[in-house]
Structures are given as C-alpha cells and as structure tokens.
Amino acid sequence: MSPRRGRCAVSLLVLALSLLAPACRSGGASRSATAHGEQSGAVGAATPGAAIPLGAIDPDADRFAYPYPVAYLELTSQRQQLRMAYIDVAPPAPNGRAVVLLHGKNFNAGDWATTIASLSRAGFRVVAPDQIGFGKSSKPERYQFSFTQLAANTRALLASLGIARSVVVGHSMGGMLAIRYAVAYPEATERLVLVDPIGLENYAALVPPRTVDDWYAEELKLTPERVREYQRDSYYGGAWTPEYEAHTRLLAGWTLHPEWWRVAWNSALTYDMIFNQPVVADLPRIRAPTRLVIGLRDRTALGRAFALPEVRRTMGDYPRLGKEAQRRIPNADLVEIPDAGHVPQVQAFPAFERALLEFLR
C-alpha cells in the first residue's frame, strides 16, 4: 500500500469511529436507563427539562416551607453521606430540659408545629427531626432501614446538639421508633410518650407476606385524592377540615412530581421495616416512665386491606391495644381521648396538650 493510500485509509477509519461514538454513548445511556427502570418498577429519573405539574413537590422538599427554620446534620451511615433535616427550637424561658418529637410514616417534622409551640412556651428545648427517607432528609436508593438504625441516627443528632438526655415523644411509626430508642438508650430517655403508636400488634402475623416490590407497586398508585381518602377514613373517622388537609400537602405534592418514585421506594422500604421488625416484644423492656395517649376513634392498621376479612375486622382496635400496651409496659399510664382518631395532636389538641404537659411536669 502506498503512503498516500494508507493515510486515506486511516482517515476513513477515524471518521467512521467518530460517527459510531455518539451512537455507542446513546446505546449505553439507554441500557443504563433501562436497568434503572427495571430496578425501580419501570419508573426512571425525570426527563431533564420535563414540565413540573402545578402543586408538585420535589423529593427533597427544598421548596416546601416548614413553620420553623430547618438545619441539617451531615450523617455518614451505611457507607453513604446523608443529610438529616431537623427543627431545633430554643424556648424563651428555658427550664433546662429537652423534648425530641418523632414523626409518623405519613408525616414530617413540620407537622409538630402546634406541639413545638406549646412545649417551647412551657420552657422545653424542642428538637423535631425528619428521619432518613422522610420530609427534607435524604432519600437514599439503597438503605437498610431498621428501627435500630433510625434510633442510632436520632441519638447521633441529639449528641451533636449537646443533648445527653431528653423526653421522647413518638407518634404513629414514630412511636415504634420511640420504643426502640428508649430500649436502646435508656440512660438518654428521661420520659416516653407514645401517641397512637402503630405496631401495638404484630402485622406480620395478621397479613399475608408482602415483598418490598409489592409495597412499591402500591405506593406508585398514590394520588393526592388517594392520600386524602386514606387519611380521612383511617385517621379522622371520616371527618375532614382545612387543617387536616394541610397535613397532606407534602405527601400529596410528592405524588405529582416526576421523581415521585424516589419517595415511593423509600416508603416501600419503611413499610418492610414496620412489618418485619415488630416492637411488641420490646414493651416490657422499657425502663422510662411512659404515657400512652390514645385516640379512641383510631382504627389505623397497616396492611389491613390485604388481610383476610375475618382478621381485617379485628385490626386497629386502639381501645383494646392501648390497654394491652399499658399492661405490658412496666411503668406506664394511659390517657384516652374519646373524640380523637389517629392524630390527637391535630384533631383534639387541647386534650392532647393537657395529657402531654401534665406528664412532663
């Protein structure tokens, strides 16, 4: 081959490779997106530049306002750098004591606003975190959710704030976390308040087995209307007010966002935690003085829809579950609120406030 012909051949080869390169990169991107879609139930990341529907809220809730300033703890957990959002309110006249408020599964730190204001007036420093996977905190794609891990994260947050000992108040799923926290860190738990905690019955013994993928498929079906319907029927006994509506805004807005799958996946992982990590056996191990605050109209029972009809009717019987829990916790009393459902701190705040502050005196 002549030098001239050789140079022409090389030039043609370079040209051909340059034309093939974008196609290869495009194919690689397509394969990556497909793989991601397979893992995430065929729901991939949002298309860059995609229109965001009116009312949609991004997974990190960056533009969703909380009623108090939000700070972040940079947390290294399970070989990941995560952010844990929290509210920390100093009282105008400190009494030297602190209260940590642990939110429920469909709630966030900001939902404690009225309780924070009341405790602050009474002289308590109040810390209300968003657990990892919730609210404004990180939504990791791979995380081994456990109540032990969330309790450790909470303890790390309080230690970073210089709080060695506190009252622990947990609502709904936060009640399960509060139980695990009190058992794991008895020296750090001054008193324990459980507000309509879920997990007072062993769901895994009542509901047929479900995988994370099963929970994820259900979560992807959520819409703002379904969020309202569930909370109206399960939390408030069919009643609905603008105040109740306000507590659905974050979850309802998430369901409208193109990256809702990120929140839905974390929600599926936490459903798996709730069902496969019962805390009923922990109740006799609680050492802190404990108050149960139970709304007698509460009928919340996770997974009820998947249980057999004869089992479904027995689930979420809070008048019975509250009394059973009181008997199992060594140093516990029980306050029943007749006209409240699952969220007495919203639905019957004056009665809830009395029950809380009286116990903390």
Q: Against a cut of 0.75, is the pTM above it?
A: yes
Q: Residue 4: its pLDDT value, please?
A: 42
Partners of residue 127 on adjacent β-strands:
88, 100
Q: Residue 237: its pLDDT value, please?
A: 86
Q: How would you class 148 by CB atoms within 10 Å of its CB: exposed for 0-12, middle for 13-18, buried for 19 or more? A: middle
Which of 310, 361, 345 shows the shortest CA–CA distance to 107?
A: 345
SS3 248: coil
Which of 217, 242, 249 shows the shortest CA–CA distance to 135?
A: 249
**Rounded (to 5) percent helix, strand, coil in the chain:** 50, 15, 40
Determine the Cα–Cα distance for residues 317 and 295; give it in Å rounded to an integer: 11
Instruction: Enter the CATH code of domain 71-203+278-360.
Output: 3.40.50.1820
Confidence of residue 32 (pLDDT cuts 50, 70, 90): very low
Residue type, 210: R
Residue type, 36: H
* Four-residue CA torsion sign, 340, 343, 344, 348: negative
Distances (CA, A) of 289 to 123, 189, 329, 359: 20, 9, 9, 9
Are 227 and 55 spatial neighbours (Cβ–Cβ below 8 Å)? no
The single residue listed with the structure tokens 């004869």 is 310
Q: Give the chain's count of helices (H) and strands (E).
A: 13, 8
At 247, give phi and psi (nearest 5°). -80, 0
User: In the chain, where are the structural domains located?
Assistant: 71-203+278-360
Determine the Cα–Cα distance for residues 280 and 199; give it in Å rounded to an integer: 7
8 vs 89, higher pLDDT: 89
Q: Residue 30: its pLDDT value, please?
A: 32
Confidence of residue 296 (pLDDT cuts 50, 70, 90): very high
Are 291 and 358 spatial neighbours (Cβ–Cβ below 8 Å)? no
pLDDT in tens, 47-61: 555 688 999 999 999
Quick check: 33 pLDDT over 50? Answer: no
Residue type, 311: V
SS3 15: helix
Residue count (the chain): 361
Confidence of residue 256 (pLDDT cuts 50, 70, 90): very high
Residue type, 250: L
Bridging pattern class, strands 332-337 and 290-295: parallel
SS3 295: strand
Are 68 and 113 spatial neighbours (Cβ–Cβ below 8 Å)? yes
pLDDT in tens, 205-254: 999 999 999 999 999 999 999 999 999 998 998 999 999 999 999 999 99
Are 351 and 110 spatial neighbours (Cβ–Cβ below 8 Å)? no
Quick check: 315 pLDDT over 50? Answer: yes
Q: Residue 48: its pLDDT value, please?
A: 56
Determine the Cα–Cα distance for residues 283 and 173; give it in Å rounded to an integer: 15
